Chains A and B, each alone.
Chain A
Amino acid sequence: MVRHFQRGQKARLGDLTLGTDLYVGVSISGPGMTFDISCFGLDADERLSDDRYFIFYNQHASPEESLQLLGPQAGDTESFRITLDRVPQAIDRLSFTATIDGDGTMAQAAPGYLRIVAGGEEVARYAFDGSEFSTERAVMLGDFYRKDGWRFAAVGQGFDGGLEALLTHFGGEVAEEEAPPAPEPPAVPAPAPAVPGFAPPPGPGPVPAPAPAPPAAPVAQPAPSAPPPAAPPSQPAPPVQPTPPPAPVAAPVAAPAPVAPPQPVPAPVAPPVPAPVPPPAAVPPQAAAPPPGPPMAAEPLPAPPAGGVRTALDAFGTLGEAAGRWSLQNPQLVRVDLAADEGRPIMARLGSMVLYQGDVDFAYKGGGIKRRIVSGMTGEGFGSLMRVSGTGQVYLAEEATRLHPVELQGDALCVASQHVLAFDETLEHEVRRIDGHGIPGGSLYALQFHGHGTVVVTTHGEPLVLPVTPMTFTDANATIAWSAAAQVLVAHQVRLRRHAYPGDSGETTQLQFRGAPGNFVIVQPYEI
C-alpha cells in the first residue's frame, strides 16, 4: 500500500515495510532544467563528517555499498538502493536532495516525487510541486534518520544556493576538501562535466518526450525507423548494477548469490548488428564508453546487470525472519508462524496456502464450524475453511489481493465473509446476515469476530477507512468490514427519475452505517 506523505510528515520505516533493502526513486523535472540528485550520509550532528557518504553523480556508492546510486530507471529521474541494516552506526541520517544544475529556480519545477519501494512494491511517496518553492536552487526532499530504528521524514525544504552551498551547509570544513570534485557542475552549467565515465545519463529523466532526435541521427543511423534506442546521445547509459558483490552474510535480504558469481557478465544480448564491438561490451561500465564514433548508430545495448538470475530476483527479497505470529511478507502475502504462541492453530480459507515450511498439518474443517458457517453461507462467498496446525510457517494469499492483518484486542469486527482470509482459532466468530431487498444475492453475510487474536482481511486495491457519521453510506459490494458496534441498515434511495436513462441498474441500494463516534467502515475500490 502506498502511503502518501505531506511535507513535514514523519513515519517509522518499520510501519511502512519490514524490508531494509530499499529502493528510493526521485522524480523531478522542469522545463529546460537539469537536476542533480544526491544523498548525504550525515552524522548525529547533521554534518557530513565522512565525505565517502556523499552519494552523487561522481561517487556512486559508499565504501560498503549500503548506499548506491542506480541512475534513472522506471520513470524516476534518479534512483538509489539503500541497504539500511548495513549503513554504519556513525551515519545517523540520510538526506536526499535535488539541486538545479544550470539556470532556473525551484519554483519552475514540475510536480515530482520521492518514493520508497520495498520488495518491488511502492510503500511510500512524497509528492511535491514547484509551487511550494520560490527562488531556491536546491531542495532537501526527504530524510531517513535513526530514532528507535529508522524513520522517514518528508522534508520538502528549499535551500538557497546550489549543490556547493548545500555541501557547505552540511559539511563545514569538509566541504573544503570536497571542493575539487563537487562544485564542478554548478560552475560549468552548459557543457557536461568532463567526467564521461560517470556522468549521469544525459537525458534529464523521463519527462521530455524521449525524442529520437531524428534530425541529428540520420548521419549514422541505418534503420530510420529505429526509434528511441538511439536516444542516449553520448554513450550507452552506464549499465546499472543494482546488486553489489555478495553482501556479507549479515544481510538476509540480499543473500549472496551462490548460483552466479558476481563477475561481469558478457552481454547476453544477442549479437548486435554492428558486430565490431562485442568484446568491449562485455567489459564493465566505464570501459564500455570508449568505442569511438560510428557505433552510435545502432549501439549495442549496455550489458545487463552482472549476476544473472539471482540478481534480478533479489529485488523481491527472500523469505525473511519476520517478527511475530502474523506478518506481511509483501502486501499480498501473509506469513503465519504457527510455532509462535504455543502453536495455536489458525483457520484459513480452503486453498489459500501458497507455500509452507516445516511441519504443518491441514485439516478440512467439517463439523461444528462447518455447520455454523457453511450452513448460513451461500456457496459463493465463503467456501469452507481449513484448520492449519503444527509448528512451521505458512504463507497465505488470495488472488493477489492486498492483505491486512487486523489484531483484535477484546474488540469486535465484522468482516464480509468473502473477505476473510484467515484468523486465529481463538477468536470467537459468528455469522451475521444482513438481508435487504436489492442486495446482490439477496443478503450479505458477515463474520463477526471478537476476542483476542488476528484476522486477515483481503481487499482489492487500497482500502478506505471511513468514520461512521450520521450519514455514512456504502455500496454493499465494496464493503469489506466494519466495527461491530456500528448498526447496519439497508437504505433505498428513491429516485424520481429512475428510468430517465437506460440501464439504470445503478446505485439504488446502499448500506447505511450508524453508530457512536469511533466506529468505522472499510471500503475497497472494487465492486465485485
Chain B
Amino acid sequence: MDQHMVSGHAPTPPAARMENHGPTMAKIAMRTGADLLARTGSMVAYEGFVQYESNPAALRSVASQWLSGESVPLMRCHGDGILYLADYGAHVVCVPLNDENLSVNATNVLAFDAQLEWGVQRVKGMAKFTGQGLFNFGLSGTGWVAVTSRGVPVVIDCARAGEIFVDPDALVAWSTGLEMKGKRSFKASSLIGRGSGEAYQLAFSGEGFVVVQPSEDSTERLTEQQHQQQA
C-alpha cells in the first residue's frame, strides 16, 4: 500500500488535553484522575486503556429535569490513553475555560472535563414559543470543553457588534453574563399558513460573545442513533 496516501492523517503527539485532529474530530489525552464526560455514542476510536460508563448514576439527578430521567446522553470516560470523538462530521471546537463560564446548547456539547461545574439550564422564555424549549449546558470553572458546530462557526463579540439577533436553532454557545431576551420578528398576519421561518429569535447584548453555526440543523444525531439501536 502506498503509505503516502494515508500517512498525512496520522495523529500528532498530543500537546494539550484537547486538540483537533482535522476540523471534525476531537483528540483528548486521557489521564487517570482526569475524567471526561462525553456524549454517548461520540467515541470513534481510542488508544490505550479507556473505560466508559454510560448513564452514570451520579449524573441522573442533574439531568432529570432535562429528559424524563430514563437515561442521560452522557458517558463518563476514565483511564489512560487517547480518545477520539466526533459527531457525524460536525466541526469540533476545543475550548479551554480559564475560570470562565460558557453556556452551550445541549446538542452541541461533545465532551467536557468532569471537574467542571455544570448543570442543565432551561433557556428562559424559549418554551413559550417553540414548543420543545431550548436546553443548555452551563459550564464553569477551569478545564476543557469540546463543542460541535454544523459548519464553520462564527464568533460574535457583542461588546463590539452591539445587539444581535440569533436564530435559536443556529445558536451554539454564549458566554454567560450576556443579556438575553426573546424577540418575535414576524407579524401575526404572516404566521398564518406556513409561517414557521424566522418567527422567533434571541437577542443578545452586553459584554461577551456568541457562537453561531451556519445551519439551522439542531437535530440530535448521537442520541437518535442510540435510541434506534435500543429499539
Chain A residues engaging chain B, CB cutoff 8 angstroms: 27, 29, 71-75, 110-111, 119-121, 201, 203, 205-207, 209-210, 223, 225-229, 231-232, 236-237, 239-240, 255, 258-260, 265-266, 268-273, 298, 301-314, 316-319, 329-333, 350-357, 360-364, 366, 383-384, 386, 395, 397-400
- Tell whether B81 is near chain A: CB-to-CB under 8 Å: yes
User: How far apart sit A264 and B98, CA to CA, in the bound complex (Å)?
Assistant: 10
Verify if B21 is at the interface (C-beta below 8 Å from A).
Answer: yes
With A203-B12, A258-B159, A259-B208 known as contacts, the answer to whether A316 contacts B152 (CB < 8 A) is yes
User: Shortest 3 CB-CB distances between A and B: which pairs?
Assistant: A400-B151, A270-B34, A308-B98
A355-B166 contact given A227-B82, A318-B160, A397-B151, CB 8 Å threshold: yes
B190 near A265: Cβ-Cβ < 8 Å: no
Q: Are A223 and B49 in contact (CB under 8 A)?
A: yes
Query: CB distance B95 to A386 under 8 Å?
Result: no
A128 to chain B, nearest CB (A): 12
Main secondary structure of the interface of A (DSSP, over half): loop
From A207, A258, A313, A364, give the contact of B95 (CB < 8 A).
Answer: A313
Q: B156, A308: Cβ atoms under 8 Å?
A: no
**Interface residue B125 (Cβ < 8 Å from any Cβ of A):** no
Q: Choose among B20, B33, B114, B216 the residue that contacts A271 (Cβ–Cβ < 8 A).
A: B33
Contacts of B15 in A (CB 8 A): 71, 73, 201, 236-237, 239-240, 301-302
Assess the A317–B154 pair: CB atoms within 8 A: yes
Q: List 9 contacting pairs A-B, 8 Å CB cutoff, sorted by A.
A: A72-B12, A75-B10, A225-B80, A228-B11, A304-B17, A306-B98, A355-B164, A362-B197, A364-B197
Q: Is the CB of A74 within 8 A of B21?
A: yes
**Contacting residues, chain B, for A386 (C-beta < 8 A):** 197-198
| A270-B143 contact, Cβ under 8 Å, with A74-B12, A210-B13, A364-B190 | yes
A316's partner among B31, B93, B114, B115 (CB-CB below 8 A) is B93
Among the listed A265, A316, A356, A362, which residue makes an inter-chain contact with B98, where contact means beta carbons less than 8 Å apart?
A265
> What 0/1 readout, one digit per residue, does chain B (171-213) give for beta carbons within 8 Å of chain A?
0000100000000011100110111111001000001110111
A329 to B170, CA, bound (A): 15
Is there a chain A Cβ closer than 8 Å to B220's Cβ?
no
* Count of A-B residue pairs with CB < 8 Å: 290
* B133: Cβ under 8 A from any A Cβ: no
Inter-chain contacts of B208 with A (CB < 8 A): 259
Q: Determine the distance from Cα of A347 to Cα of B94 in the docked complex, in whole angstroms.
A: 36
Q: Contact at A304–B144, with CB atoms within 8 Å?
A: yes
Which chain B residues have a beta carbon within 8 Å of chain A's beta carbons? 4, 7-23, 29, 31-35, 47-49, 80-82, 91, 93-100, 102, 113-115, 142-144, 150-157, 159-167, 170, 175, 185-187, 190-191, 193-198, 201, 207-209, 211-217
The answer for the CA separation of A207 and B10 in the assembled complex, in Å, is 6
Q: Is the CB of B144 within 8 A of A400?
A: no
19 other A-B residue contacts (CB within 8 Å) besides A265-B142, A273-B31: A71-B15, A75-B8, A210-B13, A228-B13, A270-B33, A270-B143, A298-B31, A303-B16, A304-B144, A309-B95, A309-B209, A330-B152, A333-B151, A350-B198, A353-B167, A355-B164, A364-B186, A397-B213, A399-B215
Q: Do A232 and B214 touch (CB < 8 A)?
A: no
A182 to B29, CA, bound (A): 35
Bound: A258/B178 CA distance, A:
14
Known: A318-B155, A350-B194. A206 touches B143 (CB 8 A): no
| B91 and A268 form a contact (CB under 8 A) | no
Given the interface pairs A259-B175, A302-B16, A355-B165, the reply to whether A27 lies near B152 with Cβ below 8 Å is no
CB distance from B190 to the nearest CB of A (A): 4
Query: Quick one: closest B residue to A271, CB to CB?
Result: B33
For the complex, what is the distance from the CA of A29 to the CA of B57, rounded to whole Å? 48
Contact partner of A270 (CB less than 8 A), chosen from B31, B153, B163, is B31
* Whole-angstrom distance between the Cβ of B218 and the nearest chain A Cβ: 11
Chain A's closest residue to B164 (CB) is A357
The one of A71, A207, A265, A268 in contact with B17, judged by C-beta atoms closer than 8 angstroms, is: A268
**What's the nearest-Cβ distance from chain A to residue B147, in Å?**
9
Chain B contacts of A400 at CB under 8 A?
A: 150-152, 213-215, 217
- Docked CA distance A225–B8 (Å): 25
Among A110, A307, A318, A331, which residue has its beta carbon within 8 angstroms of that of B157? A318
Could you tell me the distance between the alpha carbons of A236 and B185 in the complex, rounded to whole angstroms?
53
- Among residues of B, the one whose C-beta sits closest to the C-beta of A267 is B17
| Interfacial chain B residues near A111, Cβ < 8 Å | 4
Q: Are A207 and B98 in contact (CB under 8 A)?
A: no
Q: Are A268 and B113 in contact (CB under 8 A)?
A: yes
Given A27-B8, A206-B11, CB of A74 within 8 Å of CB of B31:
no
Q: Which residue of A lies closest to B81 (CB)?
A: A227
Closest residue of chain B to A335 (Cβ to Cβ) is B154
CB distance from A76 to the nearest CB of B (A): 8
Which residue in B81, B102, B190, B217 is a CB contact (below 8 Å) of A226?
B81
- Structural contact, B214 and A319, CB atoms closer than 8 A: no
Q: Report B-chain residues with C-beta under 8 Å of the C-beta of A255.
A: 157, 160
A269 touches B31 (CB 8 A): yes
A313 to B185, CA, bound (A): 29
CA distance A75 to B93 in the complex (A): 16
A272 and B33: CB pair below 8 A?
Answer: yes
Q: How far is the CB of A188 from chain B (nearest CB, A)?
A: 24
Chain A neighbourhood of B167, CB < 8 A: 351, 353-355
Chain A residues contacting B201 (CB-CB under 8 Å) are 356
Contact of A298 among B80, B93, B94, B156 (CB under 8 A): B80
Q: Is the CB of A268 within 8 A of B143?
A: yes
Does the CB pair B13–A201 fall under 8 Å?
yes
A120 interface neighbour in B12, B91, B157, B209, Cβ under 8 Å: B91
Q: Which of B98, B191, B194 contacts A268 (CB 8 A)?
A: B98
Which residues of B have CB within 8 Å of A301? Answer: 14-17, 29, 31
Q: Which residues on A sit within 8 Å (CB–CB) of B47?
A: 227-228
Residues of B within 8 A of A74 (CB): 12, 19-22
Contact status A268-B10, CB under 8 Å: no
Interface centre among A228, A309, A311 (most CB of B within 10 A): A309
| Contact present for B16 and A266 (CB under 8 Å) | no
Which residue on B lies nearest to A238, using beta carbons? B15
Tell me, in angstroms, the Cα distance from A260 to B194 when the chains sit together.
44
